[in-house]
Structure formats: C-alpha cells, structure tokens
A and B are shown apart, each in its own frame.
Chain A
Amino acid sequence: MKDFLQGKWLKHPLHPIMVHIPTALWPASLLFDLLANARNDNALVQAAFYMALFGWVAALGAIPAGIADWIDIKREKPAWRLGVYHMVLNITATLLWGINLLVRWGDVSTASSVGALPLGLSIAGTLILFVSGYLGGRMVYHYGIGIARLSKGKWRRIAERGGARVPKKEESAG
C-alpha cells in the first residue's frame, strides 16, 4: 500500500503529480471569481466552481500519497517538521475549499457573480495553499525528499563505474 502511494509502480512519486491539480486550479478559481464579478458572467462562475471541485477531488487523493512520503522521513530531520506544517496547512486548505464548494453548490448554474463569503473562503484557501506549496517545494528542492529514492540503483551503478567508494547495499537503504 505504501509502495503504491509512493508511486513505485509508476517510477515517479505520486504526491507531486497529484498536487498540480489543486495547486493550479484553486488560485485559478479565485482569478475566475474576480473576473466573474468584474464581468457578471455565469460561465466564469461555473468555471471557478468546477476548478475548485476538481482541485478538491485531486487534493483528497494527494493527502494519502503525501502522508506515505512523509512517514519515511526520519523524525530528527528538519524536513519532518516542515512536513507536519505542510500537512496541517493542506488539510486546513482542503477543509476550507470543501466548505466553499458547499456554499457555492446551490446557485452555480444561475449566478452571474460570486458572493463575499465564498470569495473570502477562496482568498483564505489560496493564501494557505501558497505557503504550503512553497514548504512542499522546499522539502523537495532544499531537503531532497523523494530525490533518487527510486533511481538510487541506477546512480549506484554509475558511481561504481566511476571508481567511487560506495556503501554496501543495506547501508544505503535509509
């Protein structure tokens, strides 16, 4: 199960693929809200709603995949704590967007603008997402979480061919 969620079958971690959907669609949904209110256009209201919805569905999938990546980080590493913040913020954002969708549900096919409450929820949800997304990116690009996890066999062969001293296989598992 953990192997599946970590994306071993795909030879690519799963969490960073899934997060593209909410990370892009939630801010885009907010942008479409603002355009809808500027132009009184139901097409934009609908677009904003369905973007938020699709982002939310993908976020529900991204959460277990993210937890599967996080449980392999050793507790004493700085990335572990960063992972906790990232997780709490993302779960909060997902809850906010869930409430947001419920608020919008009733009049999405007729409204030509977006009310203050759903708009406020989108602004809050997007700001949380920006902070959290940045932390998630730091986990990858600063702390190397998930880097060479699936390719370390290939790199070991390249290192051995290059005359490097390499640890025995069981020692480099961590």
Chain B
Amino acid sequence: MIKHLLQGRPFGHPLHPILNHFPIALFVISLLFDMATLFGYGENALVLASFYTMILGVVMGVLASITGLADYLDIRADHPGKRNATLHMGLNLAMLVLYATNLNLRNGDLASTSTPILPFVLSLVGVGIIGVSGYLGGQLVYDEGVGVGRHLRDADAPPQTLKVLSSRAGPDGFVAVAEEGALPEGATLRVQVDTNVMAVARIEGKTYAFQEFCTHRFGPLSEGNFHGYEVQCPWHQSCFDVRTGKVTQGPAKLDLNVYESKVEGGKVLVRVPNDEQ
C-alpha cells in the first residue's frame, strides 16, 4: 500500500524525518552563504553556492512534504498533537512557496558578487519559519510519539476516539461503542466511556478492553502491536496480557486496568467501569 511505503514501514523507519534533514540544513547554509557574500567574502562563487543549495533544499522539501502528509493522515483527529501537526504542515508548505519565489528572484541575478537584499530577506524569513516548524515537528515525535513504533503494527491506528456516555448503558451495565464491522480481527478501537479511555482489540474473534495508556510513559496501546494475547506499547515496547492486564515485559512495572467487553447483536459493547478501579 502506497501510504505505508511513504510512511517507511517496510524500512522500519519513517521516511519524513530522514528527508527533512535536507531542507533544514540546506536552507540554513544557503542563508550563511548569503551572509558571507554580504560581508564581502566568497564573491560570486558563494552567491551561486547559496542558489544551488536552495534548489536542492526545495527538491528535497517537496519529497519531505509528500512523506509528511502520509504520516499526518494517520494521526487521529482528536490526538493532542493534531493541531501542531496541521500547523507544521501549513508552515512548511508556506516555506516551500517562499523558497520557490526566492529561487525565481535569484535566477535573474546570478552574476552578482553579493546576494541582493530582497532574496536575502526572504531567506531570513524562510529560516525563521523552518526553525518554528522544525521545532513543532520535533515535538510531534519526542513529546507526542507520532510515528514511533508504527512500523511494528500491520493495521492503521484508530482514526478517532469513539466517545460514549455511561447513561446509554443497558441494565447489564454494558454500553455499545461501535458496530461489530468496525472491529475486524487484528484491529483496535480507541473508546472513551464518560472520561475513561480504553483500547478494544479483537483477537481470535473475541474482544478485549484495557486501559489506553501504558503504565510506563503512558504510550497509546490502541496503536500497539499484538502478538497473540499480548499488546506491545509502540513507544518503549512494554508488553501486557490483554486478558488480565498483567505486565509480561518491561520497562512497565504496573499492570493495566482491564474492562469487560463483548460482541452482541452486531455491536461491540464494553462494561461501564466503576469508579473504584
């Protein structure tokens, strides 16, 4: 599948964070070349060096955009990092347009011995944008864990959190969270009953519900990797038995909360957790 290829899953490493090294570093050094020419160093050679590095930066930036979009598509709509991801994308696209304009302006004046002022100012703005945008992109990885451990899992991440209220529960305490068809074998749901967030997995036909957050650094188990009845956290590879919640591999030390769930009448249902848990 083309999306999975652009996400780098076959390589065990996302592609976007590889490609984005190039525009970041090349746009910065292009600006340094401009500054050198404005201080009287390097003459025409560095005017050209600035131009050539910018061309390569734009080409790699376009490739980085395509792979970045593939990553963006798998961030669920209510993810706390989604807004920053959207902002990151908007800034990067604006930056590429700015640099394309910049190249166009420079193209007419490549014989000069110092970079003209307008393209230089555009480069300053461009590097400012890349600083902000790169920082946001880094936070998406290091704070939000986007793309981490994703290649270990075959299925896509749940596209959104399914929110239900316990007041809709039947007399047996179970509340319907989704149609049965939304949870095929090997897939997961991310479900919120009132404030309780849980992952629901389907293994050998049966459903298992457990707390969404790993007990190590609270990674998203609905995006985890499954081996038999074990779920592996995508962030630091802690494993838990989904039937009991017990830790089967660290770094996590504390067991998960597990919840009752079932399939009945074509619906996936979970039992409303009691507050003592």
Determine the chain A residues whose CB is within 8 A of the CB of B215 once the complex forms.
Answer: 164-167, 172
Considering the chains assembled together, what is the distance between the CA atoms of A47 and B49 in angstroms?
5
User: Which single member of B26, B195, B217, B254 contacts A147 (CB below 8 Å)?
Assistant: B217
Tell me the interface secondary structure of chain A in the complex. Answer: helix
Considering the chains assembled together, what is the distance between the CA atoms of A109 and B14 in angstroms?
39
Among A22-30, A84-92, A116-124, the one that faces the other chain is: A22-30
User: Which single member of A17, A28, A144, A155 contacts B236 (CB below 8 Å)?
Assistant: A144
Q: Count how many chain A residues have C-beta atoms less than 8 Å from C-beta atoms of the other chain.
A: 58
Considering the chains assembled together, what is the distance between the CA atoms of A16 and B17 in angstroms?
10
Interface size class of B (residues with CB under 8 A): 35 or more
| A21 and chain B: residue at smallest CB distance | B25
A43/B13 in contact, CB under 8 A = no
User: Which single member of B44, B151, B213 contacts A166 (CB below 8 Å)?
Assistant: B213
Considering the chains assembled together, what is the distance between the CA atoms of A54 and B35 in angstroms?
14
Considering the chains assembled together, what is the distance between the CA atoms of A172 and B18 in angstroms?
31
User: Which single member of B18, B48, B145, B218 contacts A159 (CB below 8 Å)?
Assistant: B218
A158/B213 in contact, CB under 8 A = yes
CB distance from A74 to the nearest CB of B (A): 8
Tell whether B32 is near chain A: CB-to-CB under 8 Å: yes
User: Which single member of A44, A142, A143, A163 contacts B211 (CB below 8 Å)?
Assistant: A163
Tell whether A81 is near chain B: CB-to-CB under 8 Å: no
Considering the chains assembled together, what is the distance between the CA atoms of A54 and B211 in angstroms?
48
Considering the chains assembled together, what is the distance between the CA atoms of A166 and B139 in angstroms?
23
| A174 and chain B: residue at smallest CB distance | B251
Determine the chain B residues whose CB is within 8 A of the CB of A159 once the complex forms.
Answer: 211-213, 218
Determine the chain B residues whose CB is within 8 A of the CB of A64 once the complex forms.
Answer: none
Considering the chains assembled together, what is the distance between the CA atoms of A35 and B197 in angstroms?
56
Tell whether B248 is near chain A: CB-to-CB under 8 Å: no
Considering the chains assembled together, what is the distance between the CA atoms of A109 and B29 in angstroms?
18
A-B contact pairs, 20 of them (CB 8 A): A23-B21, A25-B25, A28-B56, A44-B52, A47-B52, A47-B53, A133-B18, A137-B17, A137-B18, A141-B148, A144-B148, A148-B142, A148-B218, A151-B143, A155-B219, A158-B213, A159-B213, A162-B195, A162-B196, A163-B257
Kindly list the 10 A-B residue pairs having the minimum CB-CB distance in the complex, ordered from nearest.
A162-B197, A47-B49, A24-B25, A163-B196, A159-B213, A155-B218, A151-B143, A43-B48, A24-B21, A148-B217
